Amino acid sequence: MHDFRTIWAARLVLPPLLALLAMAQQAPNAPLPDIRQLMREVQDHQKQIEKLRENYTYTSSFTIQDIDANGQVKKTETEEREDFFVNGHVIERTIKKNGQPLSEHDQQKETERLTKLVERAQKIPSSEPLEGQSISVSRVLEIMDVRNPRQAMYRGRPTILFDFVGRKDAKTHGLAEDASKKLQGTVWIDEADRQIAHLEVSFVDNFHVGGGIFANVQKGSNFHFDQAQVNGEIWLPTGGEGVVQVRILLLKNIRQHVMERDYDYKRFHVETQHQEERAKP
């Protein structure tokens, strides 16, 4: 169940992408501003959004299919989670696997895991990841080329599109930076709200972890991601889909198709001293 998540959620792909997405945001119908000034504006904007996100919870469901060499589905697993935010960090609590609620034993383990995660999230700035590595926006600017800005309608709303691609000649350090060089894609930015509406990303080259000994993410692995406005005040994920092919420890080839759906958004007021209570079932 966690083979795909190990590659995706290990922050090999998401940290550089999230930083790049922030880089692409701009004021509606305005010429491209100075990029460094834009970064300061985006960071301020994101801090305001983080405060609003603390008042929301939603449900996310995952379907993960193991695919054989002929493209046929060999195995399907599902997982349902409750997502909420602590100090700007998203926390995911598993509530069902393959359509069944967790056993009493698994619920206890999940509670213990979330209690520790919430405690950790309260101590770590939102600019730093709870797990894995991070990459700054300024660093992404040195690794990625952003090109071809243009306008288009997306789901009935005006958006600004940017293409991006990693520079192969960029000097990088660490998995997050190394992964950035292997990516290309397009991001759609909502003009009115300056939020990410849609993202498409793919690996344009194989990405080796540990020189390819531990893992090798194959060229062509890809995913897309969507967000939408909720309650007229905040943008939250609505879903995504991806296909990844990985070779693990030079022995096992994994090809998976993952689909995510996010729904059932709920708004509530959370006092800081009660954050830890949300980790309890």
Q: Where are the domains of the chain?
A: 3-279
Provide the pLDDT for residue 222: 94
Among the listed residues 85, 185, 193, 99, the one whose alpha carbon sits nearest the alpha carbon of residue 144: 185
If you average pLDDT over residues 224-239, what whole number do you get? 91
CA distances, 241 to each of 74, 80, 142, 244 (Å) = 18, 15, 28, 10
Provide the pLDDT for residue 39: 47
Distance (Å, rounded) from C-alpha 76 to C-alpha 277? Answer: 33
Secondary structure string (H, E, C) spanning the chain: CCHHHHHHHHHHCHHHHHHHHHHHCCCCCCCCCCHHHHHHHHHHHHHHHHHHHCCEEEEEEEEEEEECCCCCEEEEEEEEEEEEEECCEEEEEEEEECCEECCHHHHHHHHHHHHHHHHHHHHCCCCCCCCCCCCCHHHHHHHEEEEEEEEEEECCEEEEEEEEEECCCCCCCCHHHHHHCCEEEEEEEECCCCEEEEEEEEECCCEEECCCCCEEECCCCEEEEEEEEECCCEEEEEEEEEEEEEEECCCEEEEEEEEEEEEEEEECCCCHHHHHHHHCC
Give the pLDDT band (50/70/90) at residue 117: very high
Give the pLDDT band (50/70/90) at residue 242: very high
Among the listed residues 195, 230, 192, the one whose alpha carbon sits nearest the alpha carbon of residue 55: 230
Distance (Å, rounded) from C-alpha 109 to C-alpha 281? Answer: 11
Provide the pLDDT for residue 140: 67
Among the listed residues 144, 146, 210, 215, the one whose alpha carbon sits nearest the alpha carbon of residue 181: 144
- pLDDT higher for 55 or 25? 55
Give the pLDDT band (50/70/90) at residue 209: confident
Range name among 95-99, 136-140, 251-255, 264-268 with the lowest pLDDT average: 136-140
Give the pLDDT band (50/70/90) at residue 146: confident
If you average pLDDT over residues 30-52, what whole number do you get? 61
Range name among 32-46, 116-130, 171-185 with the lowest pLDDT average: 32-46
Provide the pLDDT for residue 11: 43
- pLDDT higher for 4 or 92? 92
* Chain mean position to CA 209: 19
Provide the pLDDT for residue 61: 97
pTM: 0.77
Quote the mean pLDDT of the chain: 79
Give the pLDDT band (50/70/90) at residue 86: very high
- pLDDT higher for 85 or 30? 85
For residue 33, is pLDDT > 60? no
If you average pLDDT over residues 198-222, what whole number do you get? 83
Asked whether the beta carbons of 97 and 105 are under 8 A apart, the reply is no
- pLDDT higher for 176 or 239? 239
For residue 75, is pLDDT > 90? yes
